[in-house]
A and B are shown apart, each in its own frame.
Chain A
């Protein structure tokens, strides 16, 4: 579903991403981890088409993001690390807006938005202006709008920032359920325990390069070794 081929991105003279090759299959939860400045957010932004690669390609469901961006974007639901939303809209209006961008009919949007807002615990606030929401509430709305068009791929950057423990549990459960339904989830995070808990495969990024990749079990030296230890071992 997701394929990065020799993907590189430079900002002025700084190489943020260097020849990255990743492939994520249908129904898989892929966790991308790495220290600050490793290139995780750059990778995510390239996947969803917020930035363009210096070289290489991103294929989403077989469509090249650089050439067929409008088709490729139809398959992606993106949840950013900072949930900047249109503050003077309500969650309900924002979902109508998002639905229209994905060519969904109003009936379809109406049917799904109540269900999704309920899922993220925001149904009672559906007609409140977003400007009065806390960070966690905005993050939950961002999750709901990403899931609205029922995209087969969910790309998530730091999904649990600002969420309370109940919100974190709820969002993790959503990702697991989506993967069970055959959707692909690509997560970039600092929270190693989250990746360890829900990911099928992990990619470790450092200085723009993929230094390790595979199922967590394969990366472990010992059976009971924690992902945290693997992480530190890789960077020592």
Chain B
């Protein structure tokens, strides 16, 4: 027990030291806290409205609420298993301090408890953060808010222990035959596939139909819409049943459900410990993966059209991406997002809108530009923002070679801009196909797509090279700087779109009527385009200059 206490005391001291000595850390954590609070408030209001809406149905309302609650917690449950797998592999197999801990007289039980708590917290804090607003929305919408809300919140602790236990047993048993790295890659791939399938499914089933129950021929169809696995042994079912009992008091099998739920959590904790005691050390020695032999270099032949240096700089980036299943499988997620993006416009009921067609088409076109910015900026943060940080410690190879940072920067832009431009144009083409804007707006949105495809990578690299540290583990998802760069891109897009709306709308009306617009309106539009172009070029020049300065100041 003393080791466990000392361990967490040390961890607490490290966190306190980090916060008291690094103002940036405080700013970073405060920013994330505000961001997550904002998202959880959004989750609360969204679900409150949904629960309220369901509650207004007689007879089936309560049933629909339970179905939705079960669906939410079932999805959470699946994601908790997958995120626990990653955290368990990290804390039990790949953390740098493990050789130190395991070569000291620390019992396996202490290792199990400390690492399990770490992995459990790391994989489940976001769930706790978002599930409390879900429960609060449920209690308030059903008008049954009382002290039992606290019991429901307390039940979240055994809830997170169940996926942790399942993930732990899976990792240890698979760890006997596969290396943790293979397990991690496989499950990361599966997680992404699952997210992809969920994104596509949610969109394809047209979840907005829930708001229009009259669009279903039978009530049975409506309920089938919300169907999820309902076997009593699926842990989310007794959990939701217990919460329902707290609010309604109408569950005859409450004690059985509660007993089943709590005993499953406790049993999994104990079984995990046994599995840990039996398998852990054998699995730990299985960490080292064997070499993988590369047979053919197809990419090398494809890129042979480029000059030697550019070819190998591009190949290095692409091979790093291609040989990591976690990275390339994200392409599926991007494809799913493209599908959802275009499908949204396909399903948009333009004909039912009370707004005049030209106004609606303009509105949709400009909205499309905003959404396009959001998608492009998210992709830039994921792939471009972190591209220097992801070089990691092997960056010495580049820094000690006769290659300038300017050349490296230009090559990165050359590599990333074409696919981003292609993506922007594809999204723009297909969404406009369904929006069917007038020709004039079509060209405006086409020009905007090109503009954003060139500007977004520059903004990403500007923020991605600020205080880049190759000693720290790279954060491919951007972190604090990534969010800031995304916000800057969105602000830039907001200003650009506002200027375009202001300068082009009246011009558009004249063009639709087939009459010649007054000279001052044409000049206003041309002037705005010039201002936008000059403004963007000035911003790009400033950012390129600063990025090169950042790169020149890199020391290893």
A and B form one complex: yes
Chain A residues packing against B (C-beta within 8 Å): 45, 48-52, 69-71, 73-74, 76, 78, 80, 82, 84-90, 93, 96-106, 125, 127-129, 131-133, 145
B323 nearest CB neighbor, chain A only: A88
Instruction: Among B288, B392, B402, point to the contact of A102 (Cβ < 8 A).
Output: B402
Shortest distance from the beta carbon of A146 to any chain B beta carbon, whole Å = 9
Q: Is A93's CB under 8 angstroms from B392's CB?
A: no
14 chain-A/chain-B pairs, Cβ below 8 angstroms:
A51-B556, A73-B400, A88-B320, A88-B323, A89-B316, A90-B294, A96-B312, A100-B308, A103-B309, A128-B294, A129-B292, A129-B294, A132-B290, A132-B291
Q: Is A82's CB under 8 angstroms from B404's CB?
A: no
Cβ of B397 within 8 Å of any chain A Cβ, yes or no, is yes
A182 to B398, CA, bound (A): 26
Q: Is A105's CB under 8 angstroms from B308's CB?
A: yes
Q: Is A84's CB under 8 angstroms from B396's CB?
A: yes
Q: Is B312's CB under 8 angstroms from A97's CB?
A: yes
Q: Is A85's CB under 8 angstroms from B323's CB?
A: no
Q: Is A80's CB under 8 angstroms from B402's CB?
A: no
A23 to B187, CA, bound (A): 55
Instruction: Among A71, A74, A99, A132, point to the contact of B292 (Cβ < 8 A).
Output: A132
A103 to B407, CA, bound (A): 13
Among the interface residues B288, B312, B399, which one has the most CB atoms of the partner chain A within 10 A?
B312
Q: Is B294's CB under 8 angstroms from A50's CB?
A: no
Q: Is B404's CB under 8 angstroms from A97's CB?
A: no
Count, A-B residue pairs, CB within 8 A: 105
A88 to B315, CA, bound (A): 11
Cβ of B224 within 8 Å of any chain A Cβ, yes or no, is no
A93 to B292, CA, bound (A): 14
Chain B residues packing against A (C-beta within 8 Å): 288-295, 297, 308-309, 311-313, 315-316, 319-320, 323-324, 392-394, 396-404, 555-556
Q: Is A101's CB under 8 angstroms from B401's CB?
A: yes
A106 to B306, CA, bound (A): 13
Q: Is B400's CB under 8 angstroms from A78's CB?
A: yes
A92 nearest CB neighbor, chain B only: B294
Assuming the contacts A73-B400, A73-B402, asked whether A82 and B294 have C-beta atoms less than 8 A apart, the reply is no
Shortest distance from the beta carbon of A92 to any chain B beta carbon, whole Å = 8
Q: Is A84's CB under 8 angstroms from B555's CB?
A: no
A51 to B311, CA, bound (A): 28
Assuming the contacts A89-B319, A93-B319, A97-B315, asked whether A80 and B396 have C-beta atoms less than 8 A apart, the reply is yes
A1 to B390, CA, bound (A): 34
Q: Is B401's CB under 8 angstroms from A85's CB?
A: no
- Report chain A residues within 8 Å CB of B323: 88, 129
Assuming the contacts A74-B402, A86-B320, asked whether A98 and B289 have C-beta atoms less than 8 A apart, the reply is no
A106 to B304, CA, bound (A): 11
Q: Is B294's CB under 8 angstroms from A49's CB?
A: no
Q: Is A128's CB under 8 angstroms from B555's CB?
A: no
- Report chain A residues within 8 Å CB of B315: 93, 96-97
- Report chain B residues within 8 Å CB of A106: 308
Assuming the contacts A71-B402, A102-B401, asked whether A51 and B319 have C-beta atoms less than 8 A apart, the reply is no
A89 to B316, CA, bound (A): 7
A100 to B397, CA, bound (A): 12
Instruction: Among B288, B312, B324, point to the contact of A88 (Cβ < 8 A).
Output: B324
A45 nearest CB neighbor, chain B only: B556
Q: Is B399's CB under 8 angstroms from A101's CB?
A: no
A122 to B394, CA, bound (A): 19
A45 to B398, CA, bound (A): 13
A31 to B315, CA, bound (A): 37
